[in-house]
Amino acid sequence: MTTPADARYRARGVSSAKEDVHQAIAHLDAGLFPGAFCKVLPDLLSGDPESCLVLHADGAGTKSSLAYLAWRESGDVGVWKGIAQDSLVMNLDDCACAGAIGPYLVSNTIGRNAKRIPGEVIAAIIAGYGEVCASLEAEGITCHLAGGETADVGDLVRTVIVDSTIACRLPRREVIDASRMAAGDVIIGFSSTGRARWEGVDNAGIGSNGLTGARHELLAKHYAQSYPESHAPEIDPDFVYSGPYRLQDPLPDSSMSIGQALLSPTRTYVPLIRDLIDALGVERIHGLIHASGGAHAKIGKFGHGKRYILDALPPPPPLFRAIQAAAQVDWREMYTVYNCGVRLLAVVPEACAQACLDAAKAAQIDSWVVGRVEDATAGAANSVHLQTAFGDFSY
Amino acid sequence: MTTPADARYRARGVSSAKEDVHQAIAHLDAGLFPGAFCKVLPDLLSGDPESCLVLHADGAGTKSSLAYLAWRESGDVGVWKGIAQDSLVMNLDDCACAGAIGPYLVSNTIGRNAKRIPGEVIAAIIAGYGEVCASLEAEGITCHLAGGETADVGDLVRTVIVDSTIACRLPRREVIDASRMAAGDVIIGFSSTGRARWEGVDNAGIGSNGLTGARHELLAKHYAQSYPESHAPEIDPDFVYSGPYRLQDPLPDSSMSIGQALLSPTRTYVPLIRDLIDALGVERIHGLIHASGGAHAKIGKFGHGKRYILDALPPPPPLFRAIQAAAQVDWREMYTVYNCGVRLLAVVPEACAQACLDAAKAAQIDSWVVGRVEDATAGAANSVHLQTAFGDFSY
């Protein structure tokens, strides 16, 4: 099928841009630092004028539908631990991009269909939260589980939804305000693949974005027939599990299976971000961008009157190539939905580039100078320009 | 149908007791005040040893499926505002029962099926949050919207799920620790119906608990046929919308329709709780119990070696009588799922009873001395004893 990419997303009831949602919240106040990666509030809890707070919500999204398929086929509840990591890290990394590197307080809201999801799955998810916190603690990052709520909501939820909310307090002077990104800055990209210092297994890099598309584009009709509860019945059947693979099939050019690759838990970059702050000082980190929803177009939402040139991104890793090959969507679209191998960008003065690369090396994460910041012509809005082996794309 | 109540709940994939979930979280730490109504943490954000924090998560549950039916039939997006109130108040009132009466920080996680739920519904829900906060502000309670996340997750969510997480900080000496409940204390019950000082319309009292049951027991097959997306397909069809009513039908013995009554937004008791604390001082409030999940059996989870005698509860209001009549379940079960007209209990020394009744009167909320606390025989666990017009029930 060669339907345009945007039509493919909409056919599946997702949109990387979520225009109607952004319109619904456009009137809400933007917080103390409207240019920061996530909303930063006055410290309304303690009233301290030198401090600020982040209260941030996000979740594993439809990656839990994928875990459901893997669990049902293998019987291994271990896959659910990764969903806890996905749900938590999507929050941690957003907050850390604003400079909030802990201590974090974590709460979760799990909605399940009790007819499909037994207590052992909930136990595995909750154990997963604990394991992520323990691995962060070993890196000196404190993440405390405050509690949560698991609700039986089968009339709302087909299988299970796993969301998290985290709170973090920090001095206002330590906030990373991405509106500081300046012409002449370089953009460092940090790999989403491989095995970071705090990881026990290799990561395929997918994170928790674009999973509705990736799952349907890669997986085969078998899953529609065997697990109709794993997708919205409103989707045109042509777009449901329209891919060539089963979970246990090998991912081309990789030692991982399709299932292992898609279920790779979202890497947290928080220990690396802490190391970057330690090495450079907050004031020299002009921006940290979590390439989550919106992927590499996302940086264009931050700063003012800038051209972000990304002309040296590394080649997309195997999982992203497989998704593109199965979906037959343009790479222009791929780079706005998937991180394509780089899920964190740091924008720093050129003189700080080497320190970033060194910190990444110590974290056992590949990194590159992937681009630079320029001023736009007077009065022009931000724009993002990718130069890739697949063509040049502007957003 | 005269299936036993518990079997009816399980047939619909819900359980008021959620045993398997409780088992999954049993090993987690219980916080600073294990006897408090909700988990109270050290103030890990500021490190202040005199302060503590509550980070609490809950949501509107399947009440949003009811709002979906009402919205689809009437086209009125206004019904969604009540869902925001339900989602928020379920948190506020839990926290206030531990003494946390603000300022509150609020975040929400909304998961929607974009094929069913357009942006105008999201906008109405978010506006609803704002309206609840404004009405609380008018009562001197501060509730600040920190932000949230709306995710397109149609592969997980049939219609929409609306969860909230709130944070509140308070001095440790102001925590209401329900383990202080003592023999000789009286139990004051506060009505869930009528129109409180801060409410604009009458409330039928349902809150946000038991809505899966109430919806299926009261509503007719029409809704199964017209809106199959509003319920789990795994439920035995005999238990799906097995009731006699349509939403616009009158609720017997009431001026409200069935739809209005079921959708009554969950009343917040926070201004009343603040008034009780002002009138009595924290130390004389031995316990505040939000009769949410578990309803009147819930008090038995707090305190040690106590018998809670509830022998003067008011007659159940019309909506609860209609649910019981339609479901033909025993009142023994009704009182463990539905608040049956009393959603807040205060446990105080007998000398403080009148002050509680006076505060309720000023809040325009009916209240009664509904019972008392006794010591159990030595070594016995807590028990709850209801004496009602329908019989005597022990839990």
Determine, for residues B18 and A150 on separate chains, whether the beta-carbon distance falls below 8 Å.
yes
Q: Which of B144, B155, B168 is closest, CB to CB, to A212?
A: B155
Determine, for residues A126 and B169 on separate chains, whether the beta-carbon distance falls below 8 Å.
no
Task: Report the percent of chain B where pLDDT is more than 70.
Answer: 98
Determine, for residues A155 and B65 on separate chains, whether the beta-carbon distance falls below 8 Å.
yes
Average pLDDT over residues A137-152: 95
* CATH (domain of B177): 3.90.650.10
The answer to whether residue B1 is domain-embedded is no
Which of B23, B153, B166 best tests the A interface by mutation, with the highest count of A CBs <10 A? Answer: B153
- More confidently predicted of A390 and A16: A390
Q: What's the Cα-to-Cα distance from A234 to each of A111, A210, A231, B204, B363, rounded to whole Å?
A: 21, 19, 9, 35, 47
The Cα of B138 is separated from the nearest Cα of chain A by a number of Å equal to: 18
Residue B19 scores a pLDDT above 80: no
Listed in sequence order, the DSSP H helices in B169-238 are 211-218, 222-226
Average pLDDT over residues B108-120: 96
Determine, for residues B113 and A153 on separate chains, whether the beta-carbon distance falls below 8 Å.
no
The Cα of A30 is separated from the nearest Cα of chain B by a number of Å equal to: 9
Spatial strand order in the sheet of B41-42 = B41-42, B51-59, B160-171, B104-112, B143-152
pLDDT band at A53 (very low <50, low <70, confident <90, very high): very high
Q: Which of B109, B116, B160 is closest, CB to CB, to A165?
A: B109
Contacts of A46 in chain B (CB under 8 A): 45-46, 48, 51, 169
ipTM for the whole complex? 0.95
Taking phi first (over 0 means left), then psi (-120 to 50 degrees means alpha), and beta for anything else, what does residue A364 get?
left
Tell me, what amino acid is at A308? Y
Q: Which of A46, A161, A165 is closest, CB to CB, to B111?
A: A161
Q: Rounded to an integer, what distance in angstroms lies between the CA atom of residue A385 and that of residue B308? A: 68
Residue B224 scores a pLDDT above 80: yes
Q: Which residues does residue A347 pair with via DSSP β-bridges, in sequence order?
A: A187, A287
The Cα of A184 is separated from the nearest Cα of chain B by a number of Å equal to: 33
Q: Which of A13, A53, A108 is closest, CB to CB, to B57?
A: A108
Within A194-314, strands assigned E span 287-290, 306-310
The Cα of B65 is separated from the nearest Cα of chain A by a number of Å equal to: 7
pLDDT score for B16: 57
Helices and strands in chain A: count of H runs, count of E runs: 12, 12
Contacts of A142 in chain B (CB under 8 A): 44
Helix H or strand E encompassing A131: helix A119-138
Q: Rounded to an integer, what distance in angstroms lies between the CA atom of residue B240 and that of residue A106? A: 36
Beta B383-388 vs B306-310: how paired, if at all? Answer: parallel
The answer to whether residue A2 is domain-embedded is no
* Residues with Cβ within 8 Å of residue B341, at least 6 apart in sequence: B191, B192, B193, B205, B313, B314, B315, B316, B317, B320
CB distance from B77 to chain A under 8 Å?
A: no
Contacts of A233 in chain B (CB under 8 A): 229
CB distance from A234 to chain B under 8 Å?
A: yes
The answer to whether residue A1 is domain-embedded is no
Which of A156, A159, A262 best tests the B interface by mutation, with the highest count of B CBs <10 A? Answer: A156
Within A198-323, strands assigned E span 287-290, 306-310
CB distance from B189 to chain A under 8 Å?
A: no
Helix H or strand E encompassing B105: strand B104-112
Q: 3-state SS string over B353-378? A: HHHHHHHHHHCCCCEEEEEEEEECCC
pLDDT score for B22: 76
Q: Rounded to an integer, what distance in angstroms lies between the CA atom of residue A374 and that of residue A361? A: 27
Q: Which of B12, B105, B116 is closest, CB to CB, to A45?
A: B105
Q: What's the Cα-to-Cα distance from A299 to each of A30, A310, B120, rounded to whole Å?
A: 17, 10, 28
Please give the DSSP secondary-structure letter assigned to residue A16: S
CB distance from A23 to chain B under 8 Å?
A: yes
Q: Rounded to an integer, what distance in angstroms lies between the CA atom of residue B144 and that of residue B103? A: 7
CA angle B317, B323, B326 (to 5 degrees): 135
* Residues with Cβ within 8 Å of residue A47, at least 6 apart in sequence: none
The answer to whether residue B2 is domain-embedded is no
Angle between helices A63-74 and A211-218 (to 10 degrees): 40
Helices and strands in chain B: count of H runs, count of E runs: 12, 12
Contacts of B158 in chain A (CB under 8 A): 155-158
- More confidently predicted of B260 and B23: B260
Q: Rounded to an integer, what distance in angstroms lies between the CA atom of residue A68 and that of residue A321? A: 24
pTM to 2 decimals? 0.95
The answer to whether residue A262 is domain-embedded is yes
pLDDT score for A3: 63
pLDDT tens-digit map of A105-133: 999 999 999 999 999 999 999 999 999 99
pLDDT band at A377 (very low <50, low <70, confident <90, very high): very high
Q: Rounded to an integer, what distance in angstroms lies between the CA atom of residue B54 and that of residue A95? A: 20
- More confidently predicted of B9 and B47: B47
Q: Which of A21, A122, A168 is closest, CB to CB, to B21?
A: A122
Tokens representing A213?
A: 């598309």
Q: Rounded to an integer, what distance in angstroms lies between the CA atom of residue A393 and that of residue A186? A: 19
Which of A165, A216, A217, A234 best tests the B interface by mutation, with the highest count of B CBs <10 A? Answer: A165
**Residues 273-302, chain A: which have Cβ within 8 Å of B?**
none
CB distance from A150 to chain B under 8 Å?
A: yes
The Cα of B301 is separated from the nearest Cα of chain A by a number of Å equal to: 17
pLDDT score for A318: 98
CB distance from A102 to chain B under 8 Å?
A: no
The answer to whether residue A276 is domain-embedded is yes
Contacts of B123 in chain A (CB under 8 A): 23-24
The answer to whether residue A275 is domain-embedded is yes
Q: Rounded to an integer, what distance in angstroms lies between the CA atom of residue A329 and that of residue A313? A: 19
pLDDT score for A1: 43
Residue B290 scores a pLDDT above 50: yes
Residue B1 scores a pLDDT above 60: no
Within B113-263, strands assigned E span 143-152, 160-171, 186-191
Determine, for residues A150 and B44 on separate chains, whether the beta-carbon distance falls below 8 Å.
no
The answer to whether residue B16 is domain-embedded is yes
pLDDT tens-digit map of A263-272: 999 999 999 9
Listed in sequence order, the DSSP H helices in B233-317 are 258-263, 270-280
Q: Which residues does residue B288 pair with via DSSP β-bridges, in sequence order?
A: B346
Q: Please, what's the b/e burial string for A76-86 (b: 16 or more CB within 10 A of its CB; e: otherwise)?
A: ebebbbbbbbb
Q: Which residues does residue A387 pair with via DSSP β-bridges, in sequence order?
A: A392
The Cα of B368 is separated from the nearest Cα of chain A by a number of Å equal to: 31
The Cα of B185 is separated from the nearest Cα of chain A by a number of Å equal to: 30
Tokens representing B54?
A: 């509550």
Determine, for residues A158 and B156 on separate chains, whether the beta-carbon distance falls below 8 Å.
yes
Beta A104-112 vs A143-152: how paired, if at all? Answer: parallel
Contacts of B58 in chain A (CB under 8 A): 109, 149, 151
pLDDT score for B7: 78
Spatial strand order in the sheet of A41-42 = A41-42, A51-59, A160-171, A104-112, A143-152
Contacts of A108 in chain B (CB under 8 A): 57
Q: Is A8 helix (H, G, I), strand (E, B) or coil?
A: helix
pLDDT score for B8: 79
CB B375 within 8 A of CB B181: no
Average pLDDT over residues B63-78: 97
CB distance from A14 to chain B under 8 Å?
A: yes
pLDDT score for A20: 80
* Residues with Cβ within 8 Å of residue B116, at least 6 apart in sequence: A234, B68, B154, B158, B159, B160, B229
Residue of A nearest to B104 (CA): A45
Taking phi first (over 0 means left), then psi (-120 to 50 degrees means alpha), and beta for anything else, what does residue B132 get?
alpha
Q: Which of A13, A53, A113 is closest, CB to CB, to B105?
A: A53
Closest CA to A228 of B233, B235, B224: B233
How many domains are there within chain B? 1
The Cα of A25 is separated from the nearest Cα of chain B by a number of Å equal to: 7
pLDDT tens-digit map of A343-375: 999 999 999 999 999 999 999 999 999 999 999
Q: Which residue segment(s) compose the domain that A384 sits in?
A: 7-394
Contacts of B159 in chain A (CB under 8 A): 156
Q: How far is C-alpha B253 from the chain's CA centre?
A: 23
